[in-house]
Amino acid sequence: MNFIYEHLLLVILFFPTLAALVMLFLPAGENKLLRWFAFGASLVPFILSVWLWTQFDPNVAGYQFEAQYPWYEALHSSLHLGVDGLSLTMVMLTTLLTPIALLASFSINDRVKAYMMLFLFLETGMLGVFMAVDLLIFFVFWEVGLVPMYFLINQWGSPKGEREVRSIFGKFTMSARNYASLKFMIYTMGGSLGLLLAVQMLGVLFGNYDLQYITANWSGYTKDLMGISVSTVKTVAFWAFVIAFAVKVPLWPFHTWLPDAHTEAPTAGSMILAGVLLKLGAYGFLRLVLPLYPAEAKYFAGALAFLATAAIVFGAFASFGQTDFKRLVAYSSVNHMGFVVLGIAAAASAVGTQDATIALNGAVLQMFNHGLSAAGMFFLVGVIYERTHTRNLDDFGGLFPLVPVYGGILIFTRMASLGLPGLNGFISEFLVVRGSLPLLPVYTAVSMLGLLMTGAYILKGIKQVLHGPLNEHWAHGEHKLTEINTREILVMAPLMILILVIGLWPAWILDVINKAMMMLF
Partner 1 sequence: MTTETLIWLIPLPPALAFFLIVLFTNKNKALSHTVGVGAAVLSWLASMVVFFRALSVEHLGEHPFVSSVNWLPTGDTWFRIGVAIDPLGAAVLFFVSITIFMIFLYSVGYHNFGQPAGDHDRKGLPPHGATVTDEHGHQHVVPSVEPMYSRFFAFLGLFAFGMYTLVVSDNLLTLFVGWEIMGLCSYLLIGFWYGKPSARAAAIKAFMTTRIGDVFMLLGIGLLYSLTGTLNFREIFGNEELMHTLATPGTTLFGLSLAGLIALLLFIGTVGKSAQWPLHVWLPDAMEGPTPVSAMIHAATMVSAGVYAVIRMFPLLSLDHNTMTVVAFIGTFTAIFAATIAVAQNDIKRVLAYSTISQLGFMIAALGIGAYVAAAFHLVTHAFFKALLFLGSGSVIHGMEHGVLHTGNHSVDPQDMFNMGGLRKKMPITFWTFLIGGFALSGFPLLTAGFWSKDEILADAWANGHLAVFITLATAAFLTAFYTMRQITLTFLGEPRTKEAEHAQETPWTMTVPLMVLSVFAIGYGWVGIPEDFPLLGGLLPSWFHEFVGGTLAEHPEVIPFNPVPLTVSLVVALGGLLLGWLYYRNVNSAKEDFFQIPLLKNKYHFDEAYQVVFIGPVIWLSEVFTKWADQGVIDGILHFFGPATGGIGAFIRNKIDLPIINEFIGDGLAAVTQETGRTLRPIQTGRIQQYMMLSLVILAVVGALLYFMLGAGL
Q: Interface with partner 1 by CB under 8 A: which residues?
A: 165-170, 183, 187, 253, 255-256, 259, 314, 317-322, 331, 354-355, 357-358, 361, 398, 400-401, 404, 408, 411, 415, 420-422, 426-427, 430-431, 433-434, 437-438, 444-445, 448, 451-453, 455-456, 459-460, 463, 466-470, 505-507, 510-511, 514-515, 518
Query: CA-to-CA distance for 135 and 203, rounded, in angstroms?
Result: 8
Angle of the 354-388 helix axis to the 404-418 helix axis, nearest 10: 150
What is residue 135's DSSP assignment?
Answer: H
- The nearest distance, CB 344 to partner 1, in angstroms, is 16
Closer to partner 1 by CB, 114 or 393: give it. 393
Specify whether the CB–CB gap between 312 and 338 falls below 8 A.
yes
Q: Tell me if 92 sits within 8 A of 53, measured CB to CB.
A: yes
Query: Exposed, middle or buried: residue 394 (CB in 10 Å: 0-12, 13-18, 19+)?
Result: exposed
Using the minimum distance from each CB to partner 1, give the nearer residue, 376 or 503: 503
For partner 1, the closer CB: 76 or 434: 434
CB of 314 to partner 1, least distance (A): 5
Instruction: Pick the closer one to partner 1 by CB: 296 or 429.
Output: 429
Please, which residue, 293 or 314, has the CB nearer to partner 1?
Answer: 314
Nearer to partner 1, 389 or 480 (CB): 480
Q: Find the shortest distance in angstroms from Cβ 307 to partner 1.
A: 13
**DSSP reduced 3-state for 91:** helix
- Closest contact distance (angstroms) between CB of 240 and partner 1 is 19
Distance in angstroms (rounded) separating the CA atoms of residues 21 and 490: 27
**Whole-number minimum distance, CB 461 to partner 1, in Å?**
11
Neighbours of 345 (CB within 10 A): 28
Q: Please, what is the minimum distance in Å from the beta carbon of residue 261 to partner 1?
A: 13
Residue type present at position 30: E
Determine which helix (DSSP H) or strand (DSSP E) holds 69, and give its type and residue range.
Answer: strand 64-72
Query: Would you say 5 or 508 has its CB closer to partner 1?
Result: 508
Name the residue nearer to partner 1 (CB basis): 372 or 423: 423
CA separation for the pair 386, 383 (Å, rounded): 5
C-alpha distances out from residue 75 to 202, 224, 326, Å: 12, 21, 44
DSSP H helical ranges for 105-175:
112-131, 135-144, 146-156
Shortest Å distance, C-beta 140 to partner 1: 25
Check if the beta carbon of residue 64 is closer than 8 Å to that of residue 86.
no
Helices (H), 389-403: none
Q: Please identify, using beta-carbon distances, which residue of 35 and 336 lies nearer to partner 1.
A: 336
Q: Which of 428, 454, 444 is nearest to 366 (CA)?
A: 428
Contact 179, 170 (CB under 8 A): no
98 to 160, 175, 264, 351, 492: CA distances (angstroms): 26, 28, 19, 34, 13
Closest distance of CB 47 from partner 1, Å? 27
Q: Count of residues for the chain?
A: 521
**Minimum separation from the CB atom of position 468 to partner 1 (A):** 5
Shortest reach from residue 362's CB to partner 1, in Å? 10
Q: Minimum distance from CB of 82 to partner 1 (Å)? A: 23
Q: Nearer Cβ to partner 1, position 144 or 411?
A: 411
Closest CA to 471 of 377, 402, 408: 402
The nearer residue to partner 1, 131 or 439, going by C-beta atoms, is: 439
CB of 238 to partner 1, least distance (A): 23
Pairing of strands 162-167, 170-175: antiparallel
Helix, strand, coil percent content, the chain, rounded in steps of 5: 75, 5, 20
| Distance between CA atoms of residues 47 and 64, nearest Å | 18
CB of 463 vs partner 1, minimal distance in Å: 6
Q: Report d(CA 407, CA 373) in Å as an integer.
A: 15
Measure the CA angle with vertex 323, ends 320 and 324; round to 5°: 110
Give the nearer residue to partner 1 in terms of CB position, either 117 or 176: 176
* Nearer residue to partner 1 within complex by CB, 26 or 459: 459
Contacts of 123 (CB under 8 A, 6+ apart): 16, 42, 45, 94, 95, 98
